[in-house]
Chains A and B, each alone.
Chain A
Amino acid sequence: MRADTFKQLTRDYLAGFPAIEKDLEQWDYTRPVPVTQAFTAFVFGRQWLTASFWQDWYGVLPLLAGSLMVSFVALIIAVPLGVGAAIYVNQIATLREQHFIKPGIEFISAIPSVVLGFFGIAVLGQALRALSQVSWLAWLPGFPYSERLNILTAGCLLALLAVPTIFSLAEDALNHVPRAFREASFALGASRLQTIVKIVVPASLSGIVSAVLLGLGRVVGETMVVLLCAGNRIAIPDFTAGLAVITQPVHTMTGIIAQEMGEVVRGSIHYRALFVVGLVLFVLSLLINYVAQKIVRRYRISVG
């Protein structure tokens, strides 16, 4: 039974040969690859394979997916913390608290990214893995896992990098809400929480959203943390795993440039592909900046 299937498959395979041979005869390898094909192969390519025995592939999708996944995890953590802290400092905290929280968070932004990356390798990677192997946490998606360096590790560290950016910009936005708005709300008998939720935050929402976007820009462009802590496996993460995808290792656009630029042959296709990845990053950061500015300008509250 299985032998028959095997025979049939072999016959089908052999029957395919003439067509392939004809293709090969017609293939003129001196003819340049059309620009459109080169472009689509880069943008939609699912493989980034270099220095291989057979053929190299330069598809940006695995790297883009890695960059976006890491940034996504980082923002999930950083946005509530950063915006929450901004609201707390601006609206709730006493003056004494403000005087040490603000410089404290500014100080966190001074931690160089390579030091954070080293912290991830030396401490956080192991700590998170140990945490994942605690038995009563096994219900969490992806837990327990064995890869020390993965999306989650890099995401947590990037969150710490993004929090100061988001915090200081969001705090700025909250500061620009006119006093009269709050006072009017209080005069109508609203509580402090009601004023914050219904008046102050909506009034400064454009600033907060652009703060989040600029935080995203910071995270997408970060190099050393992802190079050291994202695991550096060049493959599109397996999204069929559901939420457990965040415990897989990935490689990122910034990481691949930093890792491969040093040893690439100058002028080769690989070399140019890395520059195009840099171009993609550049355009991405411009786009994020542009949208952030647009949002601030478009939805700014007018006081008058």
Chain B
Amino acid sequence: MNAPDHLFRPRHNAARRAESATFWVFRAATYFILLCGAIVFLDIFVKGGRTVFKAEAPFVNTTFFTAAPESLYLFEWQGRKREMGDREFRAFKEQHPAAASVKTESYVYSAGGIFPCIVGTVLLVVGSMAIALVLGVCAAIYLNEYARDGQFIRFVRLAILNLAGVPSIVFGLFGFGMFVIFFGWNVSLLAGWFTLAFMVLPVVITASEESLKGVPKGFREGSLALGATKWQTIRKNVLPYALPGILTSSILGIARVAGETAPIMFTAAYVVRDKLPWDVARAGDFFFQGVMALPYHIYVVSSKIPQNDYTERVQYGTAFVFLLIVALIAASSILLRHRRRHRYKW
């Protein structure tokens, strides 16, 4: 014991031991949670990394990022085991006519890459966040700046609060009934955008209102005193100061939009689609086409094809890319929020 012997030194007795034991239980619970999270991340990063990275020059598996999913064929040729993607296998059969009758095992989606899925996810996220931000910021401005407190406004606030807790599959069902069938948009980007936008609206509205509330009253009063109208005040003197806050909080919404599968299952996602989204005859068709999306692709490859060494590559690879994207968005949201806390001081 190096500690000096004084009146307030910790005394060791039964009560103290019980206390520290209880604290250790709490500590164990906390670190157990972190451990579980770390196991999930590590498992996917390690096994997915084998697909995504490689040892030679570019170090990144470029076909995985630039090709579309294909079937994988396994066969024995001249005493050697071969594995080929669909297109390669067809070329091979033309070269060696004898190969046409060779016995093959095939796994769908297990060769090629996931480029169309990445494109689809990016399109879905960008479009739905644009819609959600426009609608959400407008709603928040109305609620915070114009609306008088009354029965109706209280009802709207209650609705927003409750909408945040509604399961995502219910939003998917709503989007399916409303946009896909009632509006006749079919399975399309537009339907997916609106469905996802409605899902994150509560997050965006709450975040926007919070940061509008953060702008001091003096800013508005000063502008009004100089003779500006209410709308001029909001546009020039309130929104510019609230906007950074709105955007940083909305990044959390982006992570949610990118991560959800259930709402796009029957509104926007296709299991497989040969054309890329910009291969359309008319510009208007762009909005009315379904796309492939990363989360839906993970669902398809993990539930519709068997688990083995060959299919594992595409499963873990897709999960790796998807988790990386979502984790990066979430991390930037957490970082920005922590940094912003000390930014403006009024």
Residues of A within 8 A of B (CB): 80-82, 84-85, 87-89, 92-93, 101, 103-119, 121-123, 160, 163, 167, 191-193, 214, 217-218, 220-224, 227-228, 254, 257-258, 261-262, 266, 274-275, 278, 281-282, 285-286, 288-290, 293
What is the bound-complex CA distance between A82 and B26, given in angstroms? 10
Q: List 21 A-B contacts (CB under 8 A).
A: A88-B26, A92-B27, A103-B334, A106-B330, A108-B33, A110-B329, A112-B326, A117-B299, A122-B302, A160-B33, A160-B36, A160-B37, A163-B33, A220-B167, A254-B167, A258-B169, A262-B266, A285-B165, A285-B167, A286-B166, A288-B165
From B99-107, B125-133, B230-238, B315-323, give the one contacting chain A: B315-323
> What residue of chain A has the Cβ atom nearest to residue B43's Cβ?
A123
Instruction: Tell me which residues across on chain A come within 8 A of B173, comparing CB atoms.
Output: 257, 261, 274-275, 278
Of B16, B44, B262, B330, the contact of A115 (CB 8 Å cutoff): B44
User: Is the beta-carbon distance between A257 and B29 smaller than 8 angstroms?
Assistant: no
B137 is an interface residue with CB less than 8 A from chain A: no
Residues of B within 8 A of A (CB): 15-16, 18-19, 22-23, 25-27, 29-30, 32-34, 36-37, 40-41, 43-44, 161-162, 165-170, 172-173, 176-177, 181, 255, 258-262, 265-266, 295, 298-299, 302-303, 307, 312, 315-316, 319, 322-323, 326-327, 329-331, 334, 338
User: Is the beta-carbon distance between A192 and B19 smaller than 8 angstroms?
Assistant: yes
User: Is the beta-carbon distance between B260 and A112 smaller than 8 angstroms?
Assistant: yes
User: Is the beta-carbon distance between A104 and B34 smaller than 8 angstroms?
Assistant: yes
Instruction: Tell me which residues across on chain B come within 8 A of A289, comparing CB atoms.
Output: 161-162, 165
User: Is the beta-carbon distance between A112 and B295 smaller than 8 angstroms?
Assistant: yes
Instruction: Tell me which residues across on chain A come within 8 A of B165, comparing CB atoms.
Output: 214, 217-218, 221, 285-286, 288-289
Of A106, A118, A223, A266, the contact of B168 (CB 8 Å cutoff): A223
User: Is the beta-carbon distance between B262 and A85 smaller than 8 angstroms?
Assistant: no
- 10 smallest beta-carbon distances between A and B, as pairs: A221-B167, A110-B330, A112-B259, A84-B29, A108-B37, A88-B26, A223-B262, A85-B30, A193-B19, A278-B173
User: Is the beta-carbon distance between B259 and A110 smaller than 8 angstroms?
Assistant: yes
User: Is the beta-carbon distance between B334 and A115 smaller than 8 angstroms?
Assistant: no
Q: By CB atoms of chain A within 10 A, which of B22, B167, B260 has the most?
A: B167
User: Is the beta-carbon distance between B169 and A278 smaller than 8 angstroms?
Assistant: yes
User: Is the beta-carbon distance between B262 and A261 smaller than 8 angstroms?
Assistant: no
User: Is the beta-carbon distance between B302 and A116 smaller than 8 angstroms?
Assistant: no
Instruction: Tell me which residues across on chain A come within 8 A of B255, comparing CB atoms.
Output: 110
> What residue of chain A has the Cβ atom nearest to residue B176's Cβ?
A261
19 additional A-B residue pairs with CB within 8 Å, beyond A275-B177, A282-B170: A85-B30, A87-B26, A103-B334, A110-B331, A111-B327, A112-B258, A112-B295, A112-B326, A118-B315, A121-B307, A122-B316, A160-B37, A223-B168, A224-B299, A228-B299, A228-B303, A258-B265, A266-B181, A274-B173
Q: By CB atoms of chain A within 10 A, which of B22, B33, B295, B299 has the most?
A: B33
User: Is the beta-carbon distance between A89 and B167 smaller than 8 angstroms?
Assistant: no
* Distance to closest chain B CB from A294 (angstroms): 12
User: Is the beta-carbon distance between A112 and B261 smaller than 8 angstroms?
Assistant: yes
Instruction: Tell me which residues across on chain B come within 8 A of A113, comparing CB atoms.
Output: 259-261
